[in-house]
Amino acid sequence: MLKRWQFWVGIAVSALFLYLALRGLHLGEVWNSLQTAQFWWLLPGVAVYFIGVWARAWRWHYLLRPLKKIPTRTMFPIVTIGYMGNNIYPARAGEVLRAAILKDREGVAISASLATVVVERIFDAVVMLGFVFFNLGELSRLTHDSGFVGNIQQLSVWSALIFIGALILFLLAAMFPRVTERLTMSILEKVVPARFRPRVSGVALRFLTGLESLRSPREALMVFFTTVIIWLLETGKYWFIMHGFGFEVSFFALMLMNGIVNIATTLPSAPGYVGTFDAPGIAVLVAYGVPQATAAAYTLVLHAALWLPITALGAYYYFKQPLRWGKDLQQIRQTESAATD
């Protein structure tokens, strides 16, 4: 991990965002805000968040139904392991980890389940951008003194074009599988050397099978609706924890904060989204008139509350199952690749 350039790029990005988050802060005032906080508000916040995690497990089971019907209660531990992996490994490696565990337990091809994970992420991004666009009128009032948050409008437009374009592409690929398969094979014949073509073709075809859940517009709308519920529940966690810090902004303001921080966490960063979550979160609250020290204390506690419970539960489930990051994961991926040769 330490030898990979992606790790060091993430560290550099996190360092920059931490500098932006801590710039101008008086740490004594932050400590005072932490001392006076009512931490029991974490309890309903964490409870609401885990309802959202269960909804994520249901969404994944729903996306996987064309491949294999797996109960949500089976998916829930795997989802928590995946989020634990995202929190402690760089480059969202937890997604590969949960796909490998699903392969080990249920025999679902890694490339196919990763396709459903990509679909999840696209829907997540579209909903997060929806949260931002829904509050653009509010955001326009914050641009005069909100640091880099003021640039989020232009970023949101470009991000929306990218993610909505990707979603449309995936929907078309799902609705016209034969055309997509022929087009994919034609492209691979032109760009992939002959000796690698059978393996790459096998992976590509299994990936396309993971898009089958989007074949029906009704099912795609169901995934979208579930995604909205998931992120509203997570915003509910923001709302509960806010009450422990003696300030109040609207639920819509917290939706905007949720959208902005999650757009920022798509950037490369250190494991756990250090800095990329905190700096924009503090900036949004300061733009709403929350004192900087209070905004910092709240955002840091919120970040910890989002990181620690799911990481602890994911670690518990991870150590209860046999597969381990490293040789076991590599062996599963090599076995799947060999099956296409």
Q: What is the pLDDT of residues 155-180, one digit of tens each?
A: 666 766 777 888 888 888 878 888 88
For residue 338, the model assigns a pLDDT of 56
Can you say whether the dihedral through the CA atoms of 139, 142, 146, 148 is positive or negative?
A: positive
For residue 283, the model assigns a pLDDT of 87
Residue 163 φ/ψ, nearest 5 degrees: -75, -40
Q: 61-81, pLDDT tens digit by residue?
A: 999 988 899 999 999 999 999
For residue 133, the model assigns a pLDDT of 79
Q: Name the most confidently modeled range: 31-35, 95-99, 183-187, 320-324.
A: 31-35
Q: Among 40, 62, 58, 39, which Cα is nearest to 50's? A: 58
Amino acid identity, residue 229? I
- Stronger pLDDT, 96 or 294, i.e. the higher one: 294
Token reading at 169: 């592409």
Q: 82-132, pLDDT tens digit by residue?
A: 999 999 987 788 898 999 899 888 989 888 898 899 889 888 988 888 888
For residue 148, the model assigns a pLDDT of 53
Do residues 64 and 79 lie in contact, with contact meaning Cβ atoms separated by under 8 Å? Answer: no
Do residues 213 and 116 lie in contact, with contact meaning Cβ atoms separated by under 8 Å? Answer: yes
Token reading at 319: 């150590």
Token reading at 70: 């797996």
Token reading at 214: 């989007």
For residue 175, the model assigns a pLDDT of 81
What is the signed CA dihedral for 162, 163, 167, 170, rounded to 10 degrees? 60
For residue 337, the model assigns a pLDDT of 59
Q: 131-159, pLDDT tens digit by residue?
A: 887 876 666 666 545 455 555 566 666 76
- Stronger pLDDT, 325 or 257, i.e. the higher one: 257
Q: Name the most confidently modeled range: 84-98, 187-201, 240-254.
A: 240-254
For residue 140, the model assigns a pLDDT of 64
For residue 33, the model assigns a pLDDT of 95
The model's pTM: 0.85
For residue 178, how many other CB atoms are within 10 A of its CB? 7
Do residues 128 and 264 lie in contact, with contact meaning Cβ atoms separated by under 8 Å? Answer: no
DSSP string, 155-199: HHHHHHHHHHHHHHHHHHHHHSHHHHHHHHHHHHHHHS-TTTHHH
For residue 235, the model assigns a pLDDT of 97
For residue 319, the model assigns a pLDDT of 93
Q: 12-43, pLDDT tens digit by residue?
A: 999 999 998 888 888 999 999 999 999 999 99
**CB proximity list for 340: less than 8 A, separation 6 or greater:** 198, 199, 201, 202, 203
Can you say whether the dihedral through the CA atoms of 310, 312, 318, 324 is positive or negative?
A: positive
What percentage of the chain carries pLDDT values higher than 90? 42
CA 129, CA 127: separation in Å to the nearest integer? 5
Token reading at 42: 């974490």
Q: Burial of 181 by CB count in 10 Å (0-12 exposed, 13-18 middle, 19+ buried)?
A: middle
3-state DSSP assignment of residue 112: helix
* Mean of all residue pLDDT scores within the chain: 86
Residue 333 has pLDDT above 70, yes or no: no
Token reading at 110: 């890694």
pLDDT category at 270 given cuts 50, 70, 90 is confident
216: which DSSP letter? S
pLDDT average, residue stretch 289-295: 93
For residue 28, the model assigns a pLDDT of 93
CA 13, CA 277: separation in Å to the nearest integer? 11
For residue 55, the model assigns a pLDDT of 97
